[in-house]
Amino acid sequence: MKKRKEEVLATLAELKEKVTPIVNFLSKAENVKMLKSDRAQNLSFLQNEFQIGPAHVDALFSFAKWMFECGNYNAAHEYLYHYRTLSSHPEKNTSALWGRIASSILLQDFQSALDDVVKLKELLENDTFAPVQRQLQQKSWLMHWSLFVFFNHENGMSGLVDLFTQDRYLTAIQLCAPHLLRYLVVAVLVSKRRTRLLKDLVRVISQEKYEYSDPITEFVRCLFVDYDFEGAQEKLEQCGAVLDGDFFLVAKKEAFIEAAREQLFSQYCAIHKCIEMEALSKQLGMQKDDTERWLVNLIRGSRLQASIDSGNGTIKITNQGMSSYEQLLEKARGLSLRTFSLANQVVASTKS
């Protein structure tokens, strides 16, 4: 232990000596303001005015990495930022961005982490000459790391859905990490405005059934593919234990259960005009009185046209799904999104 400590201190002293000129320069705000957006121009300026060369910039990367390994995440985050403004080394620049994301996560600065996730996503998408396997692996890693960000950011669920449902990332999920489907399912259901994506998500879940399934994905498959309400309710009951045992999903447990019950109720209403409260309570896994109160709040807060007959213990549905106009609008939105996605793919292919 003592020997290891001596080695660490010796390495730190050696790195400090190498980076002293560039660290002293970067420690002064007025110096940093003199740097431009052009990396080559910055290096020439530093070499001519301060005798700081490429070797010092490379040493800054090693020093930042060592700071991270020693637990000084603030210093690592700052030095990696400066390294990226000075270095033109593509691989190290990408590594520096990974390091900044990791530092931000450990510092619980999730807005900064989200900004760097977006930058890294752009870098990976521009790296079109890399082997396909490497591209898939990088996208898979980005999605895994982004879980720390999305599940701790105010608008994280929308961001997760936006990233995971893009064609290339959805392909990476299917080929490399089908277990990520559980997080996508939760994000889609909790982000109620995104439930229009359920149709595409159900298709992917059905395709990956033999590669990966858990109570969360099986709930969706039972409900939207097999229309097995009893099976869906059984899976929903199992979801509680899964959510409790998942580091990321435990905080979304209540929101997911509520959203899942709404979807279960919505699908049940689509094929029934009159529903017995007792039967519905069984389907939802709730007590009859709790079901009635839950339905009253749901009807008030939604476009569902229904009436509750407490005397007979029934609920009557007076509308069945969307109107023709609403269906047309929904299809138009879907076509617009697909057109946008295809246009981006065409632009990307022409650039490559």
Give a yes or no: residue 22 inside a domain. yes
Which pLDDT score is estimated for 171? 93
Distance set, CA 135 to CA 125, 172, 255 (Å): 8, 9, 34
Alpha helices in 70-131 (DSSP H): 73-86, 90-106, 110-126
Number of compact structural domains in the chain: 1
Range of the domain at 30: 1-107
Which residues on neighbouring strands pair with residue 308, listed in sequence order?
315
HSE value, Cβ hemisphere, 13 Å, CA-based, for 252: 29
Give a yes or no: residue 102 inside a domain. yes
DSSP 249: G
Give a yes or no: residue 50 inside a domain. yes
Which pLDDT score is estimated for 1? 73
Give a yes or no: residue 321 inside a domain. no
Which pLDDT score is estimated for 174? 94
Neighbours of 101 (CB within 10 A): 25
Give a yes or no: residue 95 inside a domain. yes
Which pLDDT score is estimated for 38? 81
Give a yes or no: residue 28 inside a domain. yes
SS3 state at 19:
helix
Which pLDDT score is estimated for 47? 85
SS3 state at 276:
strand
Which pLDDT score is estimated for 339? 60
- 274-276: strand order across its sheet: 274-276, 314-317, 306-309
Which pLDDT score is estimated for 28? 86
What is the distance between the alpha carbons of residues 86 and 79, in angstroms, rounded to a whole number?
A: 11
21 neighbors 50 (Cβ within 8 angstroms): yes
Kindly give the confidence (pLDDT) of every residue in the chain, 352 residues in length, as a single tens digit, with 9 standing for 90 and above. 777 777 777 888 888 888 898 989 888 888 888 887 788 888 888 888 888 888 999 999 999 999 999 899 999 999 999 999 898 888 999 999 999 999 999 999 999 999 999 999 999 988 877 888 999 999 999 999 999 999 999 889 999 999 999 999 999 999 999 999 999 999 999 987 676 788 889 999 999 999 999 999 999 999 999 889 889 989 999 999 999 999 999 999 999 998 998 888 777 776 766 677 777 777 677 777 777 677 767 666 555 566 676 666 777 666 545 555 445 555 555 555 456 455 556 655 665 5
